[in-house]
Amino acid sequence: MADNAKQTSADDFTPIAGADRAKLDDEKIATPSLTFLQDSWRRLRKNKAAMIALVLLIILFILAFFSFIFETHNPNATNPNLANLPPKIPGIDINGFNGTIEQSGERINAYAQAHAGNHFYILGTDYLGRDLFSRILYGTRISLEIALIASFFDLAFGVVYGITSGWIGGRVDTLMQRIIEIMLSIPNLVVMVLLILVLKPGMTAIILSIAITSWINMARLVRAQTLELKNQEFILAARTLGESSWKIAFKHLLPNLSSVIIINLMFTIPTAIFFEAFLSYIGIGISAPQASLGTLINDGQKNFQFLPYQMWYPAIVLSVLMIAFNILGDGLRDALDPKSRE
């Protein structure tokens, strides 16, 4: 039995023949190693809904911020003689896009009736004869600017406040969280109304209102994640090696907080867009003659029974913006944190 055991042991360690070794060398792992961002991008690309939302947002960003290229008319130029004209796209003979309206059961060329000549408006005009397409582009730019401003305050204040509160802990953390709770108890609309008492309605008041309240949720999320991460082994190792708190925050905490920050950012943006549109709709946001999606919807609903397109088009753009950001946020959450799907 001992001899058999020795024989078996010897056979187990017999060198591989040359042909078998060459075969094993050919069997290599084909999948390349991926970084965290590359792996997240790979997962995001598999999410068709998120990619469609991303493409739509890129298109809207290009149309809005390069509107001077696409604008067919001055968005604030009035022409009462061409008021309430229906949409007209040259070369398209489809009701709703050929410049005709229905009167007494007949289709009438509204542009010929208004003596518009060679003028055409692809989305029609409003009650003052202003080009609705150009005004929607302008209003979309306002909404996206508000979104970018909200993102800035989320990153500049929310992330720093949350990391500071979670990292220091103790009484400082308790005090900072009580301040946040007090601010959360004050509705955003009340803050906006109080600002209007000091400032005129417009971008400045909206920006200050967002600066005061928009970053609070980000700060709470980042603080909760910081409390969880600061007791992990890699953080304790960095502290043992004598690294400063700022270095640990930027080198170790931020990379591990990036997924939470990006996901929350994607859900903050549509909230800010809707907040601005709501304020403009009720008349305490963007003031005339500037266009906002909220003011355009407000103007359009006055003539909705007879000229529904004046409200439908800005409402569709606002809906697409908010839905696209929410779908992209869901896709980024699944891509950056696959465990969240379970």
Residue 314 lies in a domain: yes
In a domain, 7, yes or no: no
In terms of domains, do 62 and 211 share one? yes
Q: Are residues 246 and 110 in the same domain?
A: no
Among residues 35, 43, 36, which one has the least CA distance to residue 335? Answer: 43
Please state the φ and ψ torsions of residue 290, each to the nearest 5 degrees.
Answer: -65, 150
In the predicted structure, residue 273 carries a pLDDT above the cut 60 = yes
Residue 308 lies in a domain: yes
Residue 153's CB: how many other CB atoms inside 10 A? 19
Mean pLDDT over 43-69 rounds to: 90
- Are residues 192 and 272 located together in one domain of the fold? yes
Mean pLDDT in residue range 318-326:
91
Between CA 159 and CA 218 the distance in angstroms is 6
Same domain, 91 and 216: no
Q: Is 101 a member of any domain?
A: yes
Q: Do 164 and 252 belong to one domain?
A: yes
Q: How far apart are the C-alpha atoms of 227 and 229, rounded to whole Å?
A: 6
Claim to verify: residue 172 and residue 290 sit in the same structural domain:
yes
15-28 mean pLDDT? 53
Question: Residues 134-141: what's their mean pLDDT?
Answer: 90
Tell me: do 212 and 109 sit in the same domain. Answer: no
H or E stretch at 152? helix 132-153
Do 180 and 238 belong to one domain?
yes
Residues 69, 90, single domain; the answer is no
Q: Is residue 177 domain-shared with residue 248, that is, in the same domain?
A: yes
Q: What is the pLDDT of residue 57?
A: 92
In a domain, 151, yes or no: yes
Mean of per-residue pLDDT scores for the chain: 82
What is the count of structural domains for the chain? 2
Does position 336 have pLDDT exceeding 90, yes or no? no
Residue 288 phi/psi, 5-degree rounding, is -60, 150
Domain region containing 203: 38-74+131-336
* Residue range 194-231, pLDDT digits in tens: 888 888 778 888 888 888 888 888 899 999 988 888 88
| pLDDT band of 340, cuts 50, 70, 90 | low
Task: Name residue 341's amino acid.
Answer: R
18 is a domain residue? no
Residue 31 binned pLDDT confidence (cut-offs 50, 70, 90) = low
End-to-end CA distance of the chain: 53
Residue 17 is predicted with a pLDDT of 54
pLDDT surpassing 60 at residue 80:
yes
Q: Same structural domain for residues 95 and 195?
A: no
Q: 267: domain CATH number? A: 1.10.3720.10
Mean pLDDT on 28-34 = 60
Q: How confident is the model at residue 53 (pLDDT cuts 50, 70, 90)?
A: very high
pLDDT of residue 315: 92
Is 141:64 a contact under the CB 8 Å cutoff?
yes
Tell me what the mean pLDDT of segment 304-329 comes to.
90
Indicate the pLDDT class of residue 3, thresholds 50, 70 and 90.
low
Q: Which residue would you say has higher pLDDT here, 87 or 246?
A: 87
Does one domain contain both 321 and 187?
A: yes
CA distance 49 to 328: 8
Model pTM score = 0.80
